């Protein structure tokens, strides 16, 4: 007769889930596919680890080499987070100061993320880079490996996106499906968020607010100037 597969007990399962969650938070991996890419393993290896409630020792070694993470923190939550902080992808204080999110599912966990101005670090630079001005707690489900959060300083997309709203932008998404909201860099001005439409040799960037003019960008420049696609918006629907 075939041997029965050993099942994890409650304590083993709790340890595994907490350790795996620390790995995900520190690397920004949100899915099993992303986690497998970070660890350079097959997706089936992730499933095997879950079934056994056991994290292979070489995963800890890989995460130290790639992210500078301390195996003791990954395994047991014992600080410090990093042995080699120069390789840190996420600030240690951000990982350690996570609080319950004010949005999303009841009892869901949140992550503190930096919020940038739309002007960015240098409006005159050829490439847009963020400039952090505050932090915001968002649900885990809202996070992505290359999430950018900006605070909107324009009413061009009102009422869909109001001035002062927090907008989540996925920098991994640079496609331009017609009608989608994209964040696009304009030198000397910073970011603008508009609905994008492809029109032959140009892209039309439409504002939802009729008081703002539409913009155009040559098609050959669009990829370089697109920072990402808008994936969520947090804002007040009524005056405070």
71 and 148 co-located in one domain: no
76 and 135 co-located in one domain: no
- When divided into structural domains, the chain yields a total of 2
Task: Give, for 229, the enclosing helix (H) or strand (E).
Answer: strand 226-234
- Helical residues (DSSP H) of 81-127, grouped into ranges: 92-96
Determine the Cα–Cα distance for residues 229 and 184; give it in Å rounded to an integer: 9
Tokens 């915001």 belong to residue: 136
* pTM score, whole prediction: 0.56
Tell me the pLDDT tens digit for each residue of 91-109: 787 777 653 344 444 344 5
171 and 225 co-located in one domain: yes
- Among 89, 114, 133, give the residue marking a domain's end: 89
149 or 177: which carries more pLDDT confidence? 149
Where in the sequence is the domain holding 172, given as residue range(s)?
Answer: 98-234
- Mean pLDDT, residues 23-51 taken together: 88
pLDDT at 6 over 70: no
**Coil vs helix vs strand at 177:** coil
């Amino acid at each position: 007769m075939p041997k029965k597969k050993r099942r994890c007990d409650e304590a083993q399962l709790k340890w595994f889930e907490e350790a795996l969650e620390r790995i995900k938070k520190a690397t920004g991996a949100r899915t099993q596919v992303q986690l497998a890419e970070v660890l350079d393993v097959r997706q089936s290896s992730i499933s095997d680890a879950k079934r056994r409630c056991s994290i292979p020792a070489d995963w800890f070694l890989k995460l130290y080499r790639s992210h500078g993470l301390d195996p003791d923190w990954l395994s047991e939550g014992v600080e410090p987070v990093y042995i080699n902080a120069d390789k840190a992808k996420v600030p240690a204080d951000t990982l350690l100061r996570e609080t319950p999110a004010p949005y999303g599912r009841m009892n869901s966990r949140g992550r503190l993320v930096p919020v940038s101005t739309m002007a960015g670090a240098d409006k005159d630079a050829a490439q847009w880079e963020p400039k952090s001005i505050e932090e915001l707690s968002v649900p885990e489900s809202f996070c992505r490996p290359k999430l950018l959060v900006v605070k909107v300083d324009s009413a061009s997309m009102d009422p869909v996106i109001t001035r002062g709203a927090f907008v989540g932008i996925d920098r991994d998404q640079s496609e331009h499906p017609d009608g989608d909201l994209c964040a696009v860099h304009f030198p000397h001005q910073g970011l603008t968020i508009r609905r994008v439409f492809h029109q032959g040799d140009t892209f039309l960037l439409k504002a939802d607010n009729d008081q703002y003019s539409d913009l155009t960008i040559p098609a050959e420049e669009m990829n370089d100037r697109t920072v990402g696609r808008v994936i969520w918006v947090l804002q007040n629907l009524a005056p405070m």
